[in-house]
Amino acid sequence: MAFAPDFRSFPEPLPSVTEFFMSLKAIVTPLGGPLLLFLGLLPASAGAQRAEAPHTAADPADVASADAIVAAVYDVISGPAGKARDWDRWRSLFLPEARLVAVGRAQDGTLRHRVMTPEDYVQGSGPMLEETGFFEREVHRIQEEFGPVVHLFSTYESRRSLEDPEPFARGINSFQLMYDGSRWWVLTIFWTSERPDLPIPARYLPGG
């Protein structure tokens, strides 16, 4: 999704949703970053961690297909500095039980994870996304489906501006989607960022 920091600066227990985007920029830029999602590994308040997403009616175009709902996720979190994100649209894409899970490496070398609700992400990441500018786009996808169940590996690139020649971070968002007979829903977005010791395999990159 978006920045998945390497956890070097995070104490026990593992923190929450994005980072304090400004401080994580230093960690993410050299080591790799974001989600679809990204700002999800900082400590959140107990209330924020238990936040429930209010019901919001979806735009039928956003939930008409697996392609459409994935595109909507990336579109909501992306935008220039100073642009408010449409968080009601974001909420409309997720099942009430949906979770976002960011994985990264801690200072002691162990892998850690942070589980969030969509609303945790809004509260933890929203202000920083709107303040700083952030664009994330899918550059490759491997998708599998069985009836109403779809899983896809969505390789992403993250930039702070559309004019940036190179992404400051890359990674893979693992989406789990469900079709309920009338529309698509996001159940889970589970992601980690590329690191020097964890390059993205060629099969998950354009041309692979």
Threshold 0.85, pTM exceeds: no
pLDDT tens digit sequence for 84-108: 999 999 999 999 999 999 999 888 8
The count of domains in the chain is 1
Structure tokens at 187: 């159940």
**Quick check: is 167 in a domain?**
yes
Q: Which domain holds residue 103?
A: 1-45+97-208
Give the residue-averaged pLDDT of 159-177.
Answer: 96
**Quick check: is 70 in a domain?**
no
pLDDT tens digit sequence for 134-150: 999 999 999 999 999 99
Per the CB < 8 A criterion, the answer to whether 141 and 151 are in contact is: no
**Quick check: is 104 in a domain?**
yes
**For the domain that residue 142 is a member of, what is the CATH number?**
3.10.450
Burial 163-199 (b: 16+ CB within 10 A, else e): eeeebbbbbbbebbbbbeeebbbbbbbbbbbbbeeee
Q: Does residue 205 surpass a pLDDT of 80?
A: yes
Q: 118-132 vs 21-31: helix axis angle to the nearest 10?
A: 90
What is the residue-averaged pLDDT of the chain? 81
Looking at residue 51, its pLDDT comes to 53
